[in-house]
Amino acid sequence: MLPDLALRRTSGFTQELDPVWQAGLTRLGLAWLGLIAAFAGDWARIFDQWWNSSTYNHMLLVPLMVGWLIWQRRDEVLRLRPLCWWPGLGAVLPLLLVWVLGALSGFDLLRQGAVVALLPASVLVMLGPKVFAALLFPLAFMVFMVPFGDEFVAALQMITAALTIALVKLSGIPASIDGVFIDTPAGLFEVAEACSGVKFLIAMIALGVFVAHVGFRSWPRRATFLALCVVAPVLANGVRAFGTILAAQYVGVERAGGIDHLIYGWVFFALVIAGVLGLAWRWFDRPSDDPMVDAATIERSPLLTGLEVYAMPTWGAALALAGPIALALAWASAAERMAAALPAQITLPEVPGWSRVDYAPGFPWNPRAAGADHRLLGRYRDREGRQVDVFYALYSAQREGKEAGGFGEGALRPDSGWAWQGDGAPVVDAKSDRLRARQGTERLAETYYRIGGLLTGSNVRLKLATIRDGLLLTPRPTALLILSSEVRAGHSAEDDLATFRRAVVRVGPWMDRIGPGR
């Protein structure tokens, strides 16, 4: 039988916590306040994304959902005995390392994921394995507090475009597709980032996980419901885009766009949510009075009981948390102050068979390198009329606000009038993208990163190299190169760029020549 540890009933709904739980909740509260204060900058950025990005607005509800889930378990959880548990540091220390890696690389998803995960990890340290086991689902659900989803935008754009063109052709409307652009008699339509459906998909997944836990006991039913929560919003987004194109054939593009924004924001996906929940309702198999957790089973667990022998005093838990946190912050701070020496001035070099000419794009194109110490943008032309635009940026360090591969950096800057059209032909050591301006100009852009001897088009490889430098506290400059060519009648952008690459012989050493000493 479990001890009547936690509560002393008085009158009505008033309950007085046992001193053991008072101490446990106090130390957990202080630990959470300390973690939030220590990583206040990360929490401020997380909340800013929740509040100001429509993709993450639903995350404002996640802390309330976590609180509700914990509240539903309160009577069972309070029957367990909280204790400080030093093996819980096995969860805290790797998370601090992940945070350091994110700080060194400027990878916000790593940083933010780590600071959110530190909260449940501290529960393991401050309240012990049995209480942690009883609260496992609410603590795991905190993953939906991490602003993630932008990584899926490009893939969802392509999926939505494929679904839309299939429905358009099925309806008999003549249309053609090029990447995320669909050309119809009523006009040219773009499946833009905002139309990818990512914000609804990640919100639906979070809701689906919540409902699957609360409404179902059967794991096959949970899995089926979660699959429906993934497929339904993706299909619905394709239908919505098709509906917009269909309406435009009859009422015009502008009116169809206005109708789309109204329906997309307030009606259509509310109906999708209602439809998914309505479809699943009859299959809910969890009784309303079924407890969320069985404290008796947890208390009797030989494994969890055996683990409790590794308890430690409260002061030991406080030091065990504070020491590694201080070390992680100091390490990241030292790396943040690193900066490589750079030349006072850089210039675009001569290229055999090519001449520098005035930069006069068909539509303004100016890549973004917000944190770079040096930037160059110029145009080369050869005797056959081939043209290549060269953008070069040099960074003394890679850190917050200075990431060469950061969001919105590089060839496609936000709100520039350019849109991503699709991947370009594969190029060794580069990322190739096809871009399209709103007035029709098309451009092929190849992006290279250079740090030390590494030449790559992979943002992940760049971040790994940056992490290595940060861990070793070794400052090295980073260079960004974008070779680009407009699509022109009588010329192939791919051929222009390939000819230019052959002229420079080796792209990596050529980048080094632009930034001497790099």
Regarding whether 157 and 80 lie in a shared domain, the answer is no
d(C-alpha 461, C-alpha 164), whole Å = 34
Q: Which amino acid is at 504?
A: V
The residue out of 281, 302, 325 marking a domain boundary is 281
Domain assignment present for 371: yes
* Long-range contacts of residues 213-216, Cβ cutoff 8 Å, at least 24 apart: 213/69, 213/137, 213/141, 214/286, 215/280, 215/284, 215/285, 215/286, 216/283, 216/284, 216/285, 216/286
Domain assignment present for 286: no
Regarding whether 275 and 301 lie in a shared domain, the answer is no
Regarding whether 201 and 122 lie in a shared domain, the answer is no
Question: Domain range for residue 258?
Answer: 151-281
Contact of 419 with 192, CB cutoff 8 Å: yes
Domain assignment present for 345: no
pLDDT of residue 3: 44
Regarding whether 428 and 390 lie in a shared domain, the answer is yes
d(C-alpha 436, C-alpha 372), whole Å = 25
Domain assignment present for 255: yes
pLDDT of residue 9: 39
Regarding whether 470 and 361 lie in a shared domain, the answer is yes
d(C-alpha 207, C-alpha 113), whole Å = 19
Regarding whether 275 and 317 lie in a shared domain, the answer is no
Regarding whether 482 and 367 lie in a shared domain, the answer is yes
pLDDT of residue 516: 60
Domain assignment present for 140: no
Domain assignment present for 341: no
Regarding whether 501 and 360 lie in a shared domain, the answer is yes
pLDDT of residue 313: 92
pLDDT of residue 106: 81
pLDDT of residue 179: 85
Regarding whether 496 and 411 lie in a shared domain, the answer is yes
Sequential pLDDT tens for the chain (518 residues): 444 444 443 333 335 778 899 999 999 999 999 999 999 999 999 999 999 988 899 999 999 999 999 999 999 999 999 999 999 999 999 999 999 999 988 888 999 999 999 999 999 999 999 999 999 999 999 999 999 988 888 899 999 999 999 999 999 999 999 888 899 998 888 888 878 889 899 999 999 999 999 999 999 999 999 999 999 999 999 998 898 888 888 877 667 666 666 666 657 778 888 999 999 999 999 888 888 899 999 999 999 999 999 999 998 889 989 999 999 999 999 988 888 989 999 999 999 999 999 999 999 999 999 889 999 999 999 999 999 999 999 999 888 778 898 888 999 988 888 999 989 999 999 999 999 998 889 999 999 999 999 999 999 999 999 999 988 889 999 999 999 999 999 899 999 999 999 999 999 999 999 986 44
Give the helix/strand (H/E) hosting 189. Answer: strand 187-190
pTM of the model: 0.84
Regarding whether 178 and 71 lie in a shared domain, the answer is no
In three-state secondary structure terms, 387 is strand
Give the helix/strand (H/E) hosting 388. Answer: strand 387-395
Identify any residues that bridge with 448 across adjacent strands, giving them in sequence order: 481
Q: CA angle at residue 301 from 299 to 305, to 5 degrees?
A: 75
Regarding whether 27 and 92 lie in a shared domain, the answer is yes
d(C-alpha 278, C-alpha 229), whole Å = 12
d(C-alpha 88, C-alpha 125), whole Å = 5
Regarding whether 404 and 437 lie in a shared domain, the answer is yes
Give the helix/strand (H/E) hosting 356. Answer: strand 354-357
pLDDT of residue 15: 53
Domain assignment present for 141: no
Domain assignment present for 342: no
Domain count, the chain: 3
In three-state secondary structure terms, 397 is coil
The residue out of 253, 281, 309 marking a domain boundary is 281
The residue out of 281, 309, 324 marking a domain boundary is 281
